[in-house]
Amino acid sequence: MREGLRFYIDGEWVDPMQPRVVDVINPATEKAIGRVSLGSAADVDRAVAAARIAFATYSQTSKAERIALLEKVIARYQDRLDDLAETISLEMGAPMSLATAAQAPMGLTQLNGALGVLKDYEFQRTQGNTLIIKEPIGVCGFITPWNWPTNQIMCKVAPALAAGCTIVLKPSEVTPLSGIILAEIMDAAGVPCGVFNLVNGDGPGVGAAISKHPDIDMVSITGSTRAGVLVAKAAADSVKRVTLELGGKSANIILPDADLREAVAHGVEKCFGNSGQSCTAPSRMFVHASQHAEALEIANQVVSGLAVGDPASPDTAIGPVANKSQYEKIQALIQKGIDEGAELVCGGTGKPEALQTGYYVKPTVFGNVRNDMTIAREEIFGPVLAILPYETEEEAIALANDSDYGLSGCVYSGELKHAVAVASKLRTGQVHINGASADFTAPFGGYKKSGNGREWGVEGFEEFLETKALMGAFP
Protein backbone atom coordinates (compact mmCIF):
# COMPACT_ATOMS: atom_id res chain seq x y z
CA MET A 1 0.00 0.00 0.00
CA ARG A 2 1.49 3.31 -1.13
CA GLU A 3 0.79 6.44 0.88
CA GLY A 4 0.80 10.07 -0.16
CA LEU A 5 -0.71 11.78 2.84
CA ARG A 6 1.31 15.01 2.58
CA PHE A 7 1.54 17.84 0.08
CA TYR A 8 4.70 19.37 -1.34
CA ILE A 9 4.64 23.08 -0.47
CA ASP A 10 7.55 25.53 -0.27
CA GLY A 11 10.14 22.77 -0.63
CA GLU A 12 8.74 20.61 2.18
CA TRP A 13 6.29 17.74 2.62
CA VAL A 14 3.55 19.13 4.85
CA ASP A 15 0.38 17.77 6.43
CA PRO A 16 -2.96 18.91 5.02
CA MET A 17 -4.81 21.59 6.94
CA GLN A 18 -7.82 19.29 7.29
CA PRO A 19 -7.22 15.51 7.04
CA ARG A 20 -9.28 13.79 4.36
CA VAL A 21 -7.95 10.48 3.05
CA VAL A 22 -9.14 8.48 0.05
CA ASP A 23 -8.03 5.24 -1.54
CA VAL A 24 -6.31 5.00 -4.90
CA ILE A 25 -7.91 2.16 -6.85
CA ASN A 26 -6.22 -0.16 -9.33
CA PRO A 27 -8.76 -0.42 -12.19
CA ALA A 28 -7.51 -3.88 -13.16
CA THR A 29 -8.29 -5.37 -9.74
CA GLU A 30 -10.79 -2.86 -8.27
CA LYS A 31 -8.67 -2.93 -5.11
CA ALA A 32 -6.86 -0.13 -3.29
CA ILE A 33 -3.16 0.25 -4.04
CA GLY A 34 -2.60 3.39 -1.98
CA ARG A 35 -4.00 6.26 0.02
CA VAL A 36 -3.69 9.99 -0.48
CA SER A 37 -4.94 13.10 1.25
CA LEU A 38 -7.33 15.45 -0.52
CA GLY A 39 -6.66 19.10 0.08
CA SER A 40 -8.84 22.16 0.58
CA ALA A 41 -8.84 25.87 -0.21
CA ALA A 42 -6.66 26.42 2.86
CA ASP A 43 -3.95 24.18 1.41
CA VAL A 44 -4.17 26.04 -1.89
CA ASP A 45 -3.78 29.34 -0.04
CA ARG A 46 -0.59 28.07 1.58
CA ALA A 47 0.81 26.83 -1.74
CA VAL A 48 -0.05 30.04 -3.58
CA ALA A 49 1.58 32.15 -0.88
CA ALA A 50 4.79 30.12 -1.26
CA ALA A 51 4.67 30.40 -5.04
CA ARG A 52 4.06 34.15 -4.88
CA ILE A 53 7.11 34.71 -2.65
CA ALA A 54 9.27 32.44 -4.81
CA PHE A 55 8.23 34.24 -7.99
CA ALA A 56 9.95 37.43 -6.87
CA THR A 57 13.35 35.73 -7.18
CA TYR A 58 12.76 32.88 -9.63
CA SER A 59 11.34 35.23 -12.27
CA GLN A 60 14.66 37.09 -12.22
CA THR A 61 16.84 34.06 -12.89
CA SER A 62 18.81 34.04 -16.11
CA LYS A 63 18.21 31.83 -19.10
CA ALA A 64 21.42 29.97 -18.24
CA GLU A 65 20.22 29.30 -14.69
CA ARG A 66 16.89 27.92 -15.90
CA ILE A 67 18.60 25.78 -18.52
CA ALA A 68 20.81 24.27 -15.79
CA LEU A 69 17.76 23.62 -13.61
CA LEU A 70 15.82 21.89 -16.37
CA GLU A 71 18.83 19.70 -17.12
CA LYS A 72 18.88 18.61 -13.47
CA VAL A 73 15.14 17.86 -13.55
CA ILE A 74 15.64 15.79 -16.70
CA ALA A 75 18.43 13.78 -15.06
CA ARG A 76 16.35 13.05 -11.99
CA TYR A 77 13.33 12.20 -14.15
CA GLN A 78 15.39 9.64 -16.05
CA ASP A 79 16.31 8.06 -12.71
CA ARG A 80 12.61 7.48 -11.96
CA LEU A 81 11.31 6.30 -15.35
CA ASP A 82 10.70 2.74 -14.18
CA ASP A 83 8.93 3.91 -11.01
CA LEU A 84 6.70 6.21 -13.05
CA ALA A 85 5.78 3.52 -15.58
CA GLU A 86 4.86 1.00 -12.88
CA THR A 87 2.87 3.56 -10.90
CA ILE A 88 0.93 4.84 -13.92
CA SER A 89 0.01 1.29 -14.93
CA LEU A 90 -1.24 0.53 -11.43
CA GLU A 91 -3.15 3.80 -11.11
CA MET A 92 -4.98 4.01 -14.43
CA GLY A 93 -4.58 0.62 -16.06
CA ALA A 94 -2.24 1.36 -18.96
CA PRO A 95 -0.57 -1.83 -20.21
CA MET A 96 3.02 -1.93 -18.99
CA SER A 97 4.18 -1.95 -22.60
CA LEU A 98 2.45 1.41 -23.14
CA ALA A 99 3.45 2.78 -19.73
CA THR A 100 7.12 1.97 -20.40
CA ALA A 101 7.25 3.01 -24.05
CA ALA A 102 5.04 6.12 -23.94
CA GLN A 103 3.23 7.05 -20.75
CA ALA A 104 6.28 7.61 -18.53
CA PRO A 105 8.69 8.85 -21.24
CA MET A 106 6.23 11.47 -22.48
CA GLY A 107 6.99 13.67 -19.49
CA LEU A 108 10.64 13.49 -20.45
CA THR A 109 9.73 14.46 -24.01
CA GLN A 110 7.98 17.56 -22.71
CA LEU A 111 10.94 18.52 -20.52
CA ASN A 112 13.40 18.15 -23.38
CA GLY A 113 11.08 20.11 -25.64
CA ALA A 114 10.84 23.00 -23.21
CA LEU A 115 14.60 22.97 -22.74
CA GLY A 116 15.12 23.18 -26.49
CA VAL A 117 12.75 26.13 -26.83
CA LEU A 118 14.38 27.93 -23.91
CA LYS A 119 17.86 27.57 -25.38
CA ASP A 120 16.82 29.25 -28.63
CA TYR A 121 14.28 31.77 -27.35
CA GLU A 122 14.96 35.51 -27.47
CA PHE A 123 13.21 37.33 -24.62
CA GLN A 124 13.96 40.81 -25.97
CA ARG A 125 13.79 42.54 -29.36
CA THR A 126 13.98 46.10 -30.58
CA GLN A 127 11.47 47.95 -32.71
CA GLY A 128 12.68 51.44 -33.54
CA ASN A 129 13.49 53.06 -30.20
CA THR A 130 11.21 50.62 -28.34
CA LEU A 131 12.41 47.60 -26.37
CA ILE A 132 9.91 44.73 -26.36
CA ILE A 133 10.39 42.27 -23.50
CA LYS A 134 8.86 38.88 -22.78
CA GLU A 135 8.48 38.22 -19.05
CA PRO A 136 7.11 35.28 -17.02
CA ILE A 137 3.39 35.67 -16.37
CA GLY A 138 3.57 34.82 -12.65
CA VAL A 139 2.06 32.14 -10.43
CA CYS A 140 0.44 29.37 -12.49
CA GLY A 141 -2.26 26.99 -11.30
CA PHE A 142 -2.41 23.64 -13.12
CA ILE A 143 -5.27 21.13 -13.10
CA THR A 144 -4.36 17.91 -14.87
CA PRO A 145 -6.14 14.66 -15.83
CA TRP A 146 -5.59 10.94 -15.36
CA ASN A 147 -5.39 9.64 -18.94
CA TRP A 148 -1.76 10.69 -19.69
CA PRO A 149 -0.72 11.85 -16.21
CA THR A 150 2.97 12.67 -16.59
CA ASN A 151 2.60 14.04 -20.11
CA GLN A 152 -0.24 16.36 -19.16
CA ILE A 153 1.57 17.57 -16.05
CA MET A 154 4.89 18.16 -17.78
CA CYS A 155 3.49 19.87 -20.86
CA LYS A 156 2.45 22.61 -18.42
CA VAL A 157 5.14 22.41 -15.73
CA ALA A 158 8.14 22.19 -18.09
CA PRO A 159 7.46 25.39 -20.10
CA ALA A 160 6.37 27.23 -16.96
CA LEU A 161 9.70 26.43 -15.29
CA ALA A 162 11.54 27.38 -18.47
CA ALA A 163 9.70 30.71 -18.67
CA GLY A 164 10.45 31.65 -15.05
CA CYS A 165 7.00 31.04 -13.55
CA THR A 166 6.10 29.38 -10.27
CA ILE A 167 3.58 26.58 -9.97
CA VAL A 168 0.72 25.16 -7.92
CA LEU A 169 -0.27 21.75 -9.32
CA LYS A 170 -3.36 19.66 -8.70
CA PRO A 171 -2.97 16.24 -10.34
CA SER A 172 -6.01 14.08 -10.88
CA GLU A 173 -7.24 12.37 -7.74
CA VAL A 174 -7.43 9.19 -9.86
CA THR A 175 -3.66 9.23 -10.55
CA PRO A 176 -2.10 11.14 -7.64
CA LEU A 177 0.78 8.75 -6.95
CA SER A 178 2.60 9.55 -10.19
CA GLY A 179 2.18 13.24 -9.36
CA ILE A 180 3.87 12.65 -6.02
CA ILE A 181 6.82 11.02 -7.80
CA LEU A 182 7.11 14.11 -9.98
CA ALA A 183 7.24 16.27 -6.84
CA GLU A 184 10.01 14.03 -5.52
CA ILE A 185 11.85 14.53 -8.80
CA MET A 186 11.57 18.32 -8.47
CA ASP A 187 12.85 18.14 -4.92
CA ALA A 188 15.78 15.90 -5.86
CA ALA A 189 16.69 18.24 -8.73
CA GLY A 190 16.96 21.18 -6.36
CA VAL A 191 14.07 23.24 -7.72
CA PRO A 192 14.03 26.30 -5.42
CA CYS A 193 11.57 26.30 -2.53
CA GLY A 194 8.14 27.55 -3.55
CA VAL A 195 8.75 27.30 -7.28
CA PHE A 196 6.91 23.97 -7.60
CA ASN A 197 4.08 23.09 -5.23
CA LEU A 198 1.73 20.10 -5.25
CA VAL A 199 -1.68 19.89 -3.58
CA ASN A 200 -3.67 16.73 -4.20
CA GLY A 201 -7.42 17.02 -4.24
CA ASP A 202 -10.62 16.91 -6.24
CA GLY A 203 -12.22 19.54 -8.44
CA PRO A 204 -14.61 21.07 -5.91
CA GLY A 205 -12.04 21.15 -3.11
CA VAL A 206 -8.81 22.17 -4.85
CA GLY A 207 -9.54 22.78 -8.52
CA ALA A 208 -12.13 25.46 -7.79
CA ALA A 209 -9.82 27.13 -5.25
CA ILE A 210 -7.01 27.30 -7.82
CA SER A 211 -9.32 28.64 -10.52
CA LYS A 212 -10.64 31.56 -8.52
CA HIS A 213 -7.58 32.39 -6.44
CA PRO A 214 -6.78 36.12 -6.79
CA ASP A 215 -3.02 35.57 -6.44
CA ILE A 216 -2.82 33.07 -9.31
CA ASP A 217 -1.99 34.83 -12.57
CA MET A 218 -2.76 31.98 -14.94
CA VAL A 219 -4.76 28.76 -14.74
CA SER A 220 -4.43 25.90 -17.19
CA ILE A 221 -6.59 22.80 -17.23
CA THR A 222 -6.63 19.64 -19.30
CA GLY A 223 -9.95 17.91 -18.84
CA SER A 224 -13.52 17.68 -20.02
CA THR A 225 -15.30 20.59 -21.64
CA ARG A 226 -17.67 20.70 -18.69
CA ALA A 227 -14.74 21.09 -16.27
CA GLY A 228 -13.10 23.70 -18.51
CA VAL A 229 -16.22 25.84 -18.52
CA LEU A 230 -16.36 25.75 -14.73
CA VAL A 231 -12.69 26.77 -14.48
CA ALA A 232 -13.13 29.64 -16.93
CA LYS A 233 -16.16 30.96 -15.05
CA ALA A 234 -14.38 30.74 -11.70
CA ALA A 235 -11.33 32.51 -13.13
CA ALA A 236 -13.26 35.35 -14.74
CA ASP A 237 -13.59 37.56 -11.65
CA SER A 238 -9.81 37.85 -11.26
CA VAL A 239 -9.23 38.30 -15.04
CA LYS A 240 -6.40 35.76 -15.00
CA ARG A 241 -5.16 34.10 -18.16
CA VAL A 242 -6.95 30.82 -18.83
CA THR A 243 -5.84 28.07 -21.19
CA LEU A 244 -8.11 25.11 -21.79
CA GLU A 245 -7.22 21.76 -23.37
CA LEU A 246 -10.57 20.00 -23.41
CA GLY A 247 -12.57 17.29 -25.12
CA GLY A 248 -12.40 15.92 -28.62
CA LYS A 249 -14.41 13.91 -31.12
CA SER A 250 -11.83 13.71 -33.83
CA ALA A 251 -12.70 12.86 -37.41
CA ASN A 252 -10.72 10.42 -39.52
CA ILE A 253 -11.47 10.91 -43.23
CA ILE A 254 -10.39 8.02 -45.44
CA LEU A 255 -10.58 9.13 -49.06
CA PRO A 256 -11.42 6.59 -51.78
CA ASP A 257 -7.90 6.68 -53.23
CA ALA A 258 -6.27 5.68 -49.90
CA ASP A 259 -5.04 2.20 -49.08
CA LEU A 260 -8.24 1.17 -47.31
CA ARG A 261 -6.84 -1.74 -45.32
CA GLU A 262 -3.86 0.23 -44.03
CA ALA A 263 -5.92 3.33 -43.24
CA VAL A 264 -8.70 1.48 -41.42
CA ALA A 265 -6.25 -0.66 -39.44
CA HIS A 266 -4.22 2.34 -38.39
CA GLY A 267 -7.36 4.29 -37.50
CA VAL A 268 -8.68 1.48 -35.30
CA GLU A 269 -5.38 1.13 -33.48
CA LYS A 270 -5.12 4.91 -32.93
CA CYS A 271 -8.69 5.08 -31.64
CA PHE A 272 -8.23 2.16 -29.23
CA GLY A 273 -4.76 3.10 -27.97
CA ASN A 274 -4.66 3.83 -24.23
CA SER A 275 -8.06 2.07 -24.06
CA GLY A 276 -9.53 4.92 -26.11
CA GLN A 277 -8.73 7.37 -23.32
CA SER A 278 -7.05 10.08 -25.37
CA CYS A 279 -8.72 13.37 -26.21
CA THR A 280 -7.20 13.14 -29.70
CA ALA A 281 -8.58 9.64 -30.41
CA PRO A 282 -9.92 9.50 -34.01
CA SER A 283 -13.27 8.11 -32.87
CA ARG A 284 -15.30 9.08 -35.97
CA MET A 285 -14.09 7.27 -39.09
CA PHE A 286 -15.54 8.51 -42.39
CA VAL A 287 -15.41 5.98 -45.24
CA HIS A 288 -16.86 6.28 -48.74
CA ALA A 289 -20.20 4.48 -48.97
CA SER A 290 -18.85 2.13 -51.65
CA GLN A 291 -16.11 0.99 -49.27
CA HIS A 292 -18.15 0.95 -46.07
CA ALA A 293 -18.87 -2.80 -45.91
CA GLU A 294 -15.22 -3.66 -46.55
CA ALA A 295 -14.10 -1.15 -43.91
CA LEU A 296 -16.32 -2.86 -41.33
CA GLU A 297 -14.76 -6.23 -42.15
CA ILE A 298 -11.24 -4.81 -41.80
CA ALA A 299 -12.07 -3.10 -38.50
CA ASN A 300 -13.53 -6.33 -37.11
CA GLN A 301 -10.40 -8.24 -38.10
CA VAL A 302 -8.12 -5.67 -36.47
CA VAL A 303 -10.11 -5.65 -33.22
CA SER A 304 -10.03 -9.45 -33.04
CA GLY A 305 -6.24 -9.23 -32.92
CA LEU A 306 -6.11 -6.75 -30.02
CA ALA A 307 -5.57 -8.56 -26.73
CA VAL A 308 -7.60 -7.15 -23.82
CA GLY A 309 -6.37 -8.09 -20.39
CA ASP A 310 -4.05 -7.68 -17.43
CA PRO A 311 -1.88 -4.56 -17.85
CA ALA A 312 1.10 -6.49 -16.48
CA SER A 313 1.01 -8.99 -19.35
CA PRO A 314 3.38 -8.17 -22.23
CA ASP A 315 0.72 -9.40 -24.69
CA THR A 316 -1.93 -6.93 -23.56
CA ALA A 317 -2.83 -4.17 -26.02
CA ILE A 318 -5.88 -2.82 -24.18
CA GLY A 319 -6.13 -2.62 -20.40
CA PRO A 320 -9.07 -1.52 -18.27
CA VAL A 321 -10.46 1.99 -18.38
CA ALA A 322 -9.33 4.14 -15.49
CA ASN A 323 -12.21 4.02 -13.03
CA LYS A 324 -15.72 2.80 -12.32
CA SER A 325 -17.53 5.97 -13.30
CA GLN A 326 -15.75 6.01 -16.66
CA TYR A 327 -16.66 2.35 -17.22
CA GLU A 328 -20.32 3.07 -16.49
CA LYS A 329 -20.38 6.09 -18.80
CA ILE A 330 -18.91 4.04 -21.66
CA GLN A 331 -21.41 1.24 -21.12
CA ALA A 332 -24.31 3.69 -21.26
CA LEU A 333 -23.03 5.20 -24.51
CA ILE A 334 -22.52 1.79 -26.15
CA GLN A 335 -26.11 0.94 -25.26
CA LYS A 336 -27.19 4.31 -26.67
CA GLY A 337 -25.53 3.42 -29.97
CA ILE A 338 -27.45 0.14 -30.10
CA ASP A 339 -30.72 1.82 -29.15
CA GLU A 340 -30.33 4.52 -31.82
CA GLY A 341 -29.89 1.94 -34.56
CA ALA A 342 -26.16 1.87 -35.30
CA GLU A 343 -24.86 -1.43 -36.63
CA LEU A 344 -22.88 -3.26 -33.92
CA VAL A 345 -19.90 -4.76 -35.75
CA CYS A 346 -18.10 -6.14 -32.68
CA GLY A 347 -17.96 -5.63 -28.95
CA GLY A 348 -21.00 -4.28 -27.14
CA THR A 349 -22.03 -3.87 -23.54
CA GLY A 350 -20.62 -5.76 -20.59
CA LYS A 351 -17.14 -6.98 -19.80
CA PRO A 352 -15.11 -9.45 -21.84
CA GLU A 353 -16.07 -12.96 -20.76
CA ALA A 354 -12.83 -13.81 -18.98
CA LEU A 355 -12.43 -10.40 -17.33
CA GLN A 356 -15.27 -9.94 -14.90
CA THR A 357 -13.06 -8.21 -12.30
CA GLY A 358 -11.67 -4.87 -13.36
CA TYR A 359 -13.10 -2.05 -15.45
CA TYR A 360 -12.61 -3.78 -18.78
CA VAL A 361 -14.60 -2.70 -21.84
CA LYS A 362 -15.14 -4.78 -24.95
CA PRO A 363 -13.46 -3.01 -27.89
CA THR A 364 -16.50 -1.89 -29.84
CA VAL A 365 -17.03 -0.86 -33.46
CA PHE A 366 -20.26 0.56 -34.85
CA GLY A 367 -21.04 0.85 -38.56
CA ASN A 368 -23.68 2.75 -40.50
CA VAL A 369 -23.47 5.54 -37.93
CA ARG A 370 -25.19 8.84 -38.64
CA ASN A 371 -23.51 12.04 -37.51
CA ASP A 372 -26.57 12.97 -35.42
CA MET A 373 -26.33 9.82 -33.27
CA THR A 374 -25.14 10.22 -29.70
CA ILE A 375 -22.06 8.05 -30.30
CA ALA A 376 -21.01 10.44 -33.07
CA ARG A 377 -21.63 13.58 -31.00
CA GLU A 378 -20.37 12.85 -27.49
CA GLU A 379 -16.83 12.11 -26.40
CA ILE A 380 -16.94 8.50 -25.19
CA PHE A 381 -13.33 8.29 -23.94
CA GLY A 382 -13.20 4.55 -24.30
CA PRO A 383 -12.44 1.88 -26.94
CA VAL A 384 -15.46 2.67 -29.12
CA LEU A 385 -15.25 3.55 -32.82
CA ALA A 386 -18.05 4.95 -34.99
CA ILE A 387 -17.74 4.36 -38.76
CA LEU A 388 -19.81 6.73 -40.90
CA PRO A 389 -20.39 6.36 -44.67
CA TYR A 390 -20.27 9.39 -46.99
CA GLU A 391 -21.06 9.94 -50.67
CA THR A 392 -18.85 12.88 -51.64
CA GLU A 393 -15.66 14.49 -50.40
CA GLU A 394 -17.55 17.70 -49.65
CA GLU A 395 -20.02 15.74 -47.51
CA ALA A 396 -17.17 14.08 -45.58
CA ILE A 397 -15.62 17.47 -44.79
CA ALA A 398 -18.97 18.94 -43.78
CA LEU A 399 -19.74 15.98 -41.51
CA ALA A 400 -16.28 16.09 -39.95
CA ASN A 401 -16.74 19.79 -39.15
CA ASP A 402 -20.28 19.23 -37.83
CA SER A 403 -19.09 18.77 -34.25
CA ASP A 404 -18.85 20.82 -31.09
CA TYR A 405 -15.20 19.80 -30.94
CA GLY A 406 -12.09 20.53 -32.98
CA LEU A 407 -8.99 19.12 -31.32
CA SER A 408 -7.41 16.71 -33.78
CA GLY A 409 -8.13 14.75 -36.93
CA CYS A 410 -6.78 12.46 -39.62
CA VAL A 411 -6.88 12.36 -43.42
CA TYR A 412 -5.76 9.45 -45.58
CA SER A 413 -5.25 9.70 -49.34
CA GLY A 414 -3.09 8.06 -51.96
CA GLU A 415 -2.03 11.52 -53.12
CA LEU A 416 -0.36 13.75 -50.53
CA LYS A 417 -1.48 17.08 -52.00
CA HIS A 418 -5.07 15.82 -52.01
CA ALA A 419 -4.81 14.89 -48.31
CA VAL A 420 -3.32 18.29 -47.45
CA ALA A 421 -6.10 20.08 -49.34
CA VAL A 422 -8.78 18.21 -47.40
CA ALA A 423 -6.93 18.64 -44.08
CA SER A 424 -6.76 22.40 -44.59
CA LYS A 425 -10.57 22.52 -44.63
CA LEU A 426 -11.01 20.86 -41.24
CA ARG A 427 -11.85 23.09 -38.28
CA THR A 428 -9.45 21.47 -35.88
CA GLY A 429 -6.15 22.27 -34.18
CA GLN A 430 -4.14 19.37 -35.60
CA VAL A 431 -4.47 16.96 -38.50
CA HIS A 432 -2.41 13.78 -38.96
CA ILE A 433 -1.92 13.11 -42.66
CA ASN A 434 -1.56 9.51 -43.84
CA GLY A 435 -0.79 8.24 -40.37
CA ALA A 436 1.81 10.84 -39.43
CA SER A 437 2.85 10.64 -35.78
CA ALA A 438 2.63 13.53 -33.33
CA ASP A 439 5.14 16.37 -33.59
CA PHE A 440 5.80 17.58 -30.06
CA THR A 441 7.52 20.72 -31.31
CA ALA A 442 4.31 21.76 -33.09
CA PRO A 443 1.50 23.64 -31.32
CA PHE A 444 -1.24 21.49 -29.79
CA GLY A 445 -4.70 22.74 -28.92
CA GLY A 446 -8.26 22.96 -30.10
CA TYR A 447 -10.94 24.92 -31.88
CA LYS A 448 -14.49 25.39 -30.60
CA LYS A 449 -15.35 23.47 -27.41
CA SER A 450 -11.99 21.68 -27.50
CA GLY A 451 -10.52 24.71 -25.76
CA ASN A 452 -8.24 27.65 -26.31
CA GLY A 453 -4.54 28.34 -26.00
CA ARG A 454 -1.77 26.05 -27.18
CA GLU A 455 0.69 23.61 -25.64
CA TRP A 456 3.99 22.18 -26.95
CA GLY A 457 6.72 24.00 -28.83
CA VAL A 458 7.26 27.75 -29.03
CA GLU A 459 3.53 28.54 -28.99
CA GLY A 460 3.05 26.54 -25.79
CA PHE A 461 6.06 28.24 -24.18
CA GLU A 462 4.73 31.71 -25.01
CA GLU A 463 1.47 31.04 -23.15
CA PHE A 464 3.54 31.55 -19.98
CA LEU A 465 4.89 34.96 -20.98
CA GLU A 466 3.63 38.54 -20.75
CA THR A 467 4.69 41.19 -23.26
CA LYS A 468 6.06 44.56 -22.14
CA ALA A 469 6.98 47.50 -24.38
CA LEU A 470 9.50 50.12 -23.20
CA MET A 471 9.11 53.13 -25.46
CA GLY A 472 12.09 55.46 -25.76
CA ALA A 473 14.48 52.82 -24.48
CA PHE A 474 17.05 53.83 -27.11
CA PRO A 475 18.23 57.28 -28.24
Which are the catalytic amino acids?
A: 245, 279
CA-angle at 167, arms to 161 and 171, nearest 5°: 110
Rounded to an integer, what distance in angstroms lies between the CA atom of residue 228 and that of residue 243? 9
Query: Strands 364-367, 384-390: parallel, antiparallel or unpaired by DSSP?
Result: parallel
Rounded to an integer, what distance in angstroms lies between the CA atom of residue 106 and that of residue 428? 23
Closest CA to 270 of 84, 436, 89, 430: 436
Q: Residue 141 in contact with residue 210, Cβ under 8 Å? A: yes
Rounded to an integer, what distance in angstroms lies between the CA atom of residue 202 and that of residue 390? 43
Which class for 474: exposed (0-12), middle (13-18), buried (19 or more C-beta within 10 A)? exposed
Instruction: Please count the residues of the chain.
Output: 475
Rounded to an integer, what distance in angstroms lies between the CA atom of residue 167 and that of residue 298? 47
Cα-Cα end-to-end distance for the chain: 66
Amino acid letter at 27?
P
Residues 6+ apart with CB under 8 A from 121: 63, 134, 458, 461
CA-angle at 97, arms to 94 and 103, nearest 5°: 55
Secondary structure of 109-125 in the HEC alphabet?
A: HHHHHHHHHHHHCCCEE
